[in-house]
Structures are given as structure tokens and as C-alpha cells.
Amino acid sequence: MKKITVLLLGALLAGYALLAWAQQGRVDVRTAVTPMGTSSSNGVSFAWFYDSTDRSVHVCRTAQAAGDVVIDCKAKVQLP
């Protein structure tokens, strides 16, 4: 009786392990954003990035203020 219980428990665990490994989600690999261009003038730099998933353009600004570098990437525009 113990052999059957151990074999049944082992088979259930093996089936659960196979099911758990089969249910792992796919990894979606894509480039987050594509760099488009940069410009700088008087210590302030801008960089433009294109996001192809939602067709938007992001603008980031960097500047130096009192020895610290400030990076601001809040601007986002949807393309038609």
C-alpha cells in the first residue's frame, strides 16, 4: 500500500511540475525606444526617442546646475 501511495504522489508531483513549467509566460523582447537625434546649446542638451509600440516621441533634457546633472524626460507626444 505504501508503494502505491508513494508512486501516486510522485506521479502527481511530476505532473504538477510539468504543468507549472509549461505555463511559464513568454518573454516579450522589443526595443523600448529608438534614439532619433540630439542637440545641445549653452550647456543644455536634448535627446529625442521614438517608441514604436504606441507611436510616441519622448524628449529628454539634460543640464548642469551647481555641479549636479539634471535629467528631465517628462515630455511625450503621440503621433497620428
SS3 of the chain: CHHHHHHHHHHHHHHHHHHHHHCCCCCCCCCCCEEEEEEEECCEEEEEEEECCCCEEEEEEEEEECCEEEEEEEEEEECC
pLDDT band, very low/low/confident/very high, at 23 (cuts 50, 70, 90): low
Is pLDDT at 1 greater than 80 in this prediction?
Answer: no
* Mean pLDDT, residues 73-79 taken together: 84
pLDDT digits (tens, 9 = 90+) for 43-75: 889 999 998 888 899 999 998 877 788 888 888
Domain ranges for the chain: 2-78
